């Protein structure tokens, strides 16, 4: 008798697993109570289970013949789920899909012959609007000074959404949080200025724009759900020198004005210097922290330039490689 009950238990508990996976993927919200009908060797069985949001995770329990069974190791790739459950020393596998508001799929005993099908329908009320935005997100805002990375936490408070944003500047509350029809909005005050973010959920990724509240220049913004691996406690700002810079170098012969046209991938930088007498390709260009360094060949000599990035300004010096000449260099980033 127990051998026949175990498959049913597995089916229902992993039906719960389906819900957990769907919640993590954000493509379907399945929080709440469901009734599962499992096809077992001893006939159909009804099992009730419930899904809840707990911080950055969605958890659940399946109530089967008065006993509660948790689900673990559930994977979801956006439409398909798989999972495993150990019950009374036996392991079971399940796969399934959420279609038209209903859960359905197949189960099988690992290393055994027992298998069957399962399905589930919601018995409680649907989750509150905006549940797809709940949880923890790694966000990136593209700014003139580089990428601003922060951890965004969204939670449910009654019928409303709330949250906070954690970065090098500390943890700040986000306000005016809404999520409807795939469109996400929140506001945050940073450095005395209020900013708004508007984005859309596209295949599990939030993509949109940030801008000062009331108008002004902004930039791209995106966020992805944090995975199960530990993430940094605080976000960091990745410096960037990409763009066009108006520069001036002091030399024994006077000031030399030129432009720097730069592209950047991680710490690697490429580009050229453009002067009235032609252009010069940068060599050994790197950006480490806020220090930007490169070398150029000019009028038969090689020169090294070391600059410090401060917002939209670069300040430093040039030095003759294999020589003694040196001088100051400064640059201002050109606005679009």
Q: What is the CATH number of the domain that holds 70?
A: 2.40.128.120
- Main-chain phi, psi angles of 53, to 5 degrees: -90, 125
Residues 294 and 246 in one domain: yes
110 and 37 within one domain: yes
Q: What is the pLDDT of residue 230?
A: 40
Which residue range(s) make up the domain with 164? 131-238
How many Cα atoms are found within 13 Å in the side-chain-facing hemisphere of 115? 11
Residues 116 and 13 placed together within one structural domain of the fold: yes
Same domain for 17 and 118, yes or no, is yes
Give the model's pLDDT for residue 19: 37
User: Could you say which of 207, 223, 238 is where a domain stops?
Assistant: 238
The pLDDT assigned to 13 comes to: 44
Name the pTM for this structure. Answer: 0.38
Same domain as 256, residue 184: no
Same domain? 250 vs 225: no
Kindly state whether residues 229 and 246 are assigned to the same domain: no
Pair 10, 108 in one domain = yes
Per-residue confidence (pLDDT) for residue 287, from 0 to 100: 87
Are 216 and 256 found together in one domain? no
Domain count along the chain: 3
Are both 109 and 145 inside the same structural domain? no
Identify the domain boundary among 238, 265, 284.
238
The whole-number mean pLDDT for each consecutive block of 10 residues of the chain, a chain of 336 residues, reads 45 40 42 75 75 55 70 58 62 71 78 82 62 84 90 81 86 90 88 91 88 92 71 50 90 88 84 86 87 87 90 90 88 83
Q: What is the pLDDT of residue 23?
A: 39
Same domain membership, residue 46 and residue 70: yes
Q: Please identify, among 238, 257, 292, the residue that sits at the C-terminal boundary of a domain.
A: 238
């Amino acid at each position: 008798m127990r051998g026949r009950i175990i498959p049913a238990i597995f089916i229902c508990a992993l039906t719960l697993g389906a819900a957990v996976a769907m919640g993590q993927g954000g493509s379907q919200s399945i929080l709440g109570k469901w009734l599962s009908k499992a096809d077992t060797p001893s006939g159909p069985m009804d099992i009730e289970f419930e899904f809840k949001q707990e911080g950055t995770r969605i958890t659940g329990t399946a109530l089967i013949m008065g006993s509660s069974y948790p689900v673990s190791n559930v994977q979801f790739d956006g439409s398909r789920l798989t999972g495993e459950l150990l019950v009374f020393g036996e392991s079971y596998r399940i796969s399934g899909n959420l279609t038209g508001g209903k859960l359905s799929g197949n189960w099988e005993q690992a290393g055994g012959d027992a298998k069957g099908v399962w399905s589930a329908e919601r018995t409680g009320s649907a989750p509150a609007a905006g549940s797809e935005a709940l949880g923890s997100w790694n966000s990136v805002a593209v700014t003139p000074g580089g990428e601003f990375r922060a951890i965004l936490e969204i939670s449910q408070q009654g019928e409303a959404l709330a949250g906070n944003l954690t970065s090098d500047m500390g943890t700040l509350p986000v306000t005016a949080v809404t999520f409807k029809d795939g469109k996400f909005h929140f506001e945050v005050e940073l450095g005395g200025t209020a900013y708004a973010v508007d984005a859309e959920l596209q295949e599990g990724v939030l993509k949109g724009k940030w801008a000062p509240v009331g108008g002004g220049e902004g930039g791209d913004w995106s966020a992805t759900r944090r995975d199960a691996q530990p993430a940094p406690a605080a976000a960091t700002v990745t410096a960037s020198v990409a763009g066009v810079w108006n520069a001036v170098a002091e030399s024994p012969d006077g000031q030399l004005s030129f432009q720097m046209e730069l592209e950047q991938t991680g710490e690697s930088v490429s580009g050229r210097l453009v002067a009235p007498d032609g252009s010069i390709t940068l060599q050994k260009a790197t950006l480490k922290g806020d220090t930007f360094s490169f070398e150029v060949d000019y009028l038969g000599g090689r020169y090294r330039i070391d600059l410090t990035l401060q917002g939209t300004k670069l300040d430093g010096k040039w030095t003759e490689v294999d020589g003694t000449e040196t001088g100051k260099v400064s640059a201002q980033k050109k606005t679009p």
